[in-house]
């Protein structure tokens, strides 16, 4: 069954919600099930294979001894002409896989056979404004609903059996540059989403909705000076939530179009009851127009999921002049030090530094470079603030058409971009997909215009090495030591997963899904999928067997923005496939 974005009247949508939701079936995904996802192996109901985002599985049916026999059992095409930039993580519940594809599409698939059960295509307007391709990174599951965001900045809830719309909610004005590309998450009965659009001068925000009907519960803008609100019966509660002093770290009125979009979505730490989000670049890119730290751009935020209040913040790139953002995932993990358990959070920033924070209060524990070349900063001070190299900030235009150009590393696409890293509870290592590249960057004059690109900069990205750009790294967060690395000719742009079977999985733009020995970095398996692998692989157990699934389909920001780098990938084929693998039954029986 295929459904397009049918325009139901609101009353009819609300009626459908009332009809579908109370009659919750045995399938219904509960809050407890979401909280426990990290401990279950027969299903995946969170983006990150657990709310803390470690992307670690306790399954070891598949391991370094038998990985050579892993083989495909089915593959499904997303079909049509919309074959580009497949970046989603699959979700699995009761033998059904739910996955998004480019151009705001959702598919339900029989996880045993690969048969399509239903398809939903959002009816997108012609004037959508995605800065970085038409991608979507996945769904949230809750009750009987499959919920996702669209490129025209809507949340859509579909019934899990039919794919029909139960409710639809506009989150922001797509004509101003807003969109949604991240997978939403559900915490304690609240549907949480961020927005995209930083390159258009939007005001970033994180919001909570009632997943049963789409009613707005609270809103937390991520640019200092904008007020947050709690909503009751559709009305803002008096006084709202303080947003800080307007213009305190922004000059003039630039905070009104400050960017800082939380476009990757967030994670949740049950131990501290905190939402952990990253925020994007300040707008415009030309930093000379906005002296100051420009809070809360290029930062990590911890929020109370009940009302959206910011409990702590940590800014990785104050006064960002290179489009480094701060949106990368904040992964919660614990480690032992001095006989104490440290409740930590780790994040690998686009700016080239890896940060370990105390996730209870956001205090800096340690930070270190995780790529070979960083030119914009000389290091980090004792509080984790960058020590700027002022000669590497692109110059102000002044009376010229453009300011002084500088060569900066990493490039604005980042030492690590959106692609999520993984943490192994067995090795204590993070497995980080990274890239070695730099850029020529210069500033230009710019003025804000609603819905228009708001950069004020020009750039050309260049590889730092002839033989590779991408590097999969195993990093010890306690020491900063790189334990092993694996180089890749093209940039790495896909997610990582690790398992108790001593395996690390990731994909390449060249089309390979690959597996590595988690301890040594030896490549132990690979499979050619036919197009670049940008999605986040997952593994789960069904009928006593361990499965691995991943999306294949080249696209995303690299071919759009990559400058000289784009020449390396210009011949890669686009695609749209969902692949699933497992061991032959006879090999599993011998274990």
Q: Please list the active-site residues.
A: 323
- The SS3 call for residue 242 is coil
The DSSP secondary-structure symbol of 88 reads P
DSSP string, 28-67: PBPHHHHHTGGG-SS-B-STTSSTT---EE---SS-TTTG
> What 8-state DSSP symbol labels residue 241?
B
* Residue 204 C-beta-side C-alpha neighbours within 13 Å: 32
CA dihedral 365, 369, 371, 376 (to 10 degrees): 130
Query: Going by DSSP bridges, is the β-strand pair 538-542/229-232 parallel, antiparallel, or unpaired?
Result: unpaired
CA distance 342 to 272: 13
What tokens appear for 272 in the block?
Answer: 């501290």
CA angle 440, 443, 447 (to 5 degrees): 145
Contacts 24+ apart (CB under 8 A), 400-405: 401/444, 402/442, 402/443, 402/444, 402/458, 403/286, 403/288, 403/442, 403/443, 403/444, 404/442, 405/440, 405/441, 405/442
3-state secondary structure of 437: strand
Question: Are 535 and 551 within 8 A, CB to CB?
Answer: yes
The pairing of strands 2-4 and 116-121 is: parallel
Cα angle value 502/506/510 (rounded, 5°): 140
Close Cβ partners of 18 (under 8 Å, ≥ 6 residues apart): none
Residue 498 and residue 348: Cα distance in Å, rounded? 17
Bridge-based pairing of strands 422-423 and 266-269 is unpaired
The three-state secondary structure class of 538 is: strand
CB 92 within 8 A of CB 539: no
d(CA 290, CA 293): 9
Q: What share of the chain is helix, strand, coil (3-state, %, to 5)?
A: 10, 40, 50
The two tokens of residue 178 are 């807003």
Alpha-helical (H) ranges within 498-591 are 557-561, 566-569, 585-589
Give the C-alpha separation, 391 to 349, whole Å: 21
Q: Is the dihedral of CA 270, 271, 274, 277 positive or negative?
A: negative
């Amino acid at each position: 069954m295929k459904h397009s974005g049918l325009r139901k009247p609101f009353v009819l949508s609300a009626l459908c919600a009332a009809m579908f939701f109370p009659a919750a079936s045995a399938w219904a995904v509960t809050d407890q099930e979401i909280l426990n996802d990290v401990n279950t192996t027969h299903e995946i109901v969170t983006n990150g294979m657990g709310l803390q985002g470690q992307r670690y599985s306790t399954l070891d049916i598949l391991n370094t001894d038998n990985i050579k026999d892993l083989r495909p059992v089915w593959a499904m095409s997303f079909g049509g002409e919309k074959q580009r930039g497949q970046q989603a993580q699959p979700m699995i519940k009761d033998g059904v896989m739910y996955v998004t594809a480019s151009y705001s599409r959702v598919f339900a698939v029989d996880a045993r056979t690969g048969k399509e059960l239903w398809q939903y295509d959002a009816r997108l307007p012609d004037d959508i404004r995605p800065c970085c391709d038409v991608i979507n990174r996945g769904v949230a599951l809750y009750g009987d609903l499959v919920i996702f965001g669209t490129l025209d900045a809507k949340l859509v809830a579909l019934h899990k059996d039919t794919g029909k719309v139960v409710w639809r909610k506009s989150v922001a004005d797509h004509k101003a540059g807003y969109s949604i590309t991240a997978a939403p998450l559900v915490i304690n009965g609240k549907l949480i989403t961020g927005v995209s659009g930083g390159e258009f001068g939007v005001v970033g925000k994180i919001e909570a909705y009632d997943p049963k009907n789409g009613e707005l519960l609270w809103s937390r803008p991520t640019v200092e000076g904008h007020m947050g609100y709690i909503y009751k019966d559709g009305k803002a509660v008096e006084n709202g939530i303080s947003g800080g002093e307007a213009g305190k770290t922004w000059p003039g009125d630039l905070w009104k179009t400050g960017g800082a979009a939380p476009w990757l979505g967030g994670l949740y730490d049950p131990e501290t009851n905190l939402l952990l989000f990253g925020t994007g670049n300040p707008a415009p890119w030309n930093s000379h127009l906005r002296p100051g730290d420009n809070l809360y751009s290029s930062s990590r935020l911890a929020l109370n999921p009940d009302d959206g209040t910011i409990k702590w913040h940590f800014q990785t790139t104050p006064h960002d002049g290179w489009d480094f953002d701060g949106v990368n995932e904040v992964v919660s993990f614990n480690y032992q030090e001095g006989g104490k358990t440290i409740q930590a959070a780790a994040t690998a920033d686009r700016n080239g530094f890896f940060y370990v924070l105390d996730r209870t209060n956001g205090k800096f524990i340690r930070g270190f470079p995780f790529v070979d070349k960083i030119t914009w900063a000389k290091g980090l001070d004792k509080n984790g603030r960058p020590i700027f190299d002022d000669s590497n900030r692109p110059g102000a235009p002044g009376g010229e058409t453009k300011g002084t150009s500088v060569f900066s590393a990493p490039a604005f696409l980042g030492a690590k971009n959106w692609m999520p890293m993984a943490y192994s509870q067995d090795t204590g290592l993070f497995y980080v997909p990274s890239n070695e590249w730099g850029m020529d960057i210069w500033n230009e004059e710019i003025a804000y215009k609603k819905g228009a690109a708001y950069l004020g900069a020009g750039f050309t990205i260049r590889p730092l090495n002839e033989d590779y750009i991408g590097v999969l790294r195993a990093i010890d967060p306690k020491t900063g030591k790189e334990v092993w690395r694996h180089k890749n000719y093209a940039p790495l742009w896909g997610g990582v997963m690790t398992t108790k079977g001593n395996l690390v999985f990731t994909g390449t733009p060249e089309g390979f899904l690959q597996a590595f020995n988690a301890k040594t970095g030896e490549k132990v398996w690979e499979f050619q999928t036919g197009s670049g692998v940008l999605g986040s692989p997952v593994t789960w157990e069904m009928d006593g067997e361990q499965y691995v699934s991943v999306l294949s389909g080249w696209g995303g920001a690299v071919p759009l923005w990559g400058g000289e780098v784009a020449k390396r990938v210009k011949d890669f084929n686009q695609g749209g496939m969902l692949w699933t693998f497992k061991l032959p039954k006879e090999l599993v029986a011998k274990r």
